[in-house]
Amino acid sequence: MPKQLMLVAAGACALAVAASGASADVTLKFGHYNAESHPVHKASVQFKANVEKRSNGAVKIQLFPNNALGSPPEILEQTRNGVVDIAIPTSGQLDKYDKAFAALMIPFAFADLDHARRTMDGPVRQWLEPRSQKIGLEVIGVWEYGFRHLTNSKRPIMKPEDVKGLKIRTPPEIQLSAAMAALGANVQKIGFPELYLSLSQGVVDGEENPIATIHSAKFYEVQKYLTLTRHMYQAMFHVVNAGAWKKLSADQQKVMREESAAAGKLTRELLQSEEAGLIEDLKKKGMTVAAPDTAPFQKAMGPANEEIKKFAGADNVTTFMKYVDEARKK
**Helix ranges, 65-141 (H):** 72-81, 91-94, 113-119, 125-134
Residue among 155, 13, 139 at smallest CA distance from 88: 139
Read off the pTM.
0.88
- 262: helix, coil or strand? helix
Domains, the chain: 25-328 (3.40.190.170)
Per-residue pLDDT tens listing for the chain (330 residues): 444 444 444 444 433 333 334 457 999 999 999 999 999 999 999 999 999 999 999 999 999 999 999 999 999 999 999 999 999 999 999 999 999 999 999 999 999 999 999 999 999 999 999 999 999 999 999 999 999 999 999 999 999 999 999 999 999 899 999 999 999 999 999 999 999 999 999 999 999 999 999 999 999 999 999 999 999 999 999 999 999 999 999 999 999 999 999 999 999 999 999 999 999 999 999 999 999 999 999 999 999 999 999 999 999 999 999 999 999 987
Region of 271 on the Ramachandran plot (φ > 0 left; ψ -120 to 50 alpha; else beta)? alpha
Round the CA-based radius of gyration of the chain to a whole number and report it. Answer: 22
Residue among 107, 99, 81, 139 at smallest CA distance from 261: 139
Residue 136: which residues within 8 A CB-CB, separation 6 or more?
A: 80, 241, 242, 243
